[in-house]
Amino acid sequence: MPLSEQIADALRADIIFGRIGAGTKLSQRELCQRFQTSRMPARDALRQLAHEGLVVNDGTGHQIVAELSRRDIEDAYLIEGALQGLAARRVAETHTAEMIDELRARHAEMVEVENDSERLGELNWRFHQRIIELADSHKLTVALHTVRMTMPTDATYLVEMPEWRSHVNSEHVQIIDAIEARDSDLAERLLRAHVADAGKHLTEHLTERLDEIAVE
């Protein structure tokens, strides 16, 4: 992953999880110091976040963290869930035995690393990405890439909320079973709910965190 994208990923997680509050100024110089890099990757990272709406210009030439509503986050997961659900439908309709074997092998690998949030997050991304690839739809791939730009990575999500790890593996089994049974309606519904529920869990987590900060 290019350095600019790594910086953008780190800042995106800090913004979404509230470690950097709305209105906070983000200077290229400070980012260069934090990530030990030159100005170009830092500048490109800020441009990416501005494109996503997470960073805005304050009118004086400074880049600051934008206001981010919990509804924005939840909607991103709802949209991704709908798109991934459609991918699951396509795979359920057209899969081969080899595809099912591959998905089950990927799931088995995830079960083995369930206690390693970062590794599980990486494998979780690959599992979902493989379903999208198997759907063989360029339109879906492009649409999902656009939505995902405003969401934390799977690894970040599971590191912040390790309690979600068991949900990931148990629900994947149900999704694979529905795909193998060629039950396209169920496969779509399960994957859509799987992703949407992750968004709800994230917003609940963030709300609780804000309440704790207010009490302190």
Comparing C-alpha atoms, which of 66, 67, 65, 62 is closest to residue 27? 62
pLDDT at 170: 92
CA separation (Å) from 86 to 81, 102, 182?
A: 9, 20, 13
Q: Where are the domains of the chain?
A: 3-65, 70-215
85 close to 132: Cβ distance less than 8 angstroms: no
Measured distance CA(201)–CA(53) in Å, rounded: 22
Q: Per CATH, which fold does 70-215 belong to?
A: Four Helix Bundle (Hemerythrin (Met), subunit A) (1.20.120)
Measured distance CA(148)–CA(81) in Å, rounded: 11
For Cα atoms 66, 22, 53, give the angle at the middle one, nearest 5 degrees. Answer: 15
| Burial status of residue 145 (CB atoms within 10 A of its CB: 0-12, 13-18, 19 or more) | exposed
pLDDT at 211: 52
Residues contacting residue 205 through CB under 8 Å, at least 6 positions apart: 160, 161
Report DSSP state, residue 164. Answer: G
pLDDT at 149: 64
> From the first residue on, what is the mean pLDDT of each consecutive set of 10 residues in the chain (216 residues)?
88 86 91 93 92 86 85 87 96 97 96 91 93 94 79 80 86 97 98 93 77 45
pLDDT at 214: 41
pLDDT at 134: 96
Comparing C-alpha atoms, which of 65, 78, 80 is closest to residue 18? 65
Q: So what's the architecture of 3-65 in CATH?
A: Orthogonal Bundle (1.10)
Look up residue 168 and give its amino acid. V
Q: Is the Cα torsion angle 19, 21, 26, 30 positive or negative in sign?
A: negative
pTM, full prediction:
0.79
Tell the residue number behind the tokens 């595809």, with chain if given. 99
Measured distance CA(16)–CA(68) in Å, rounded: 8
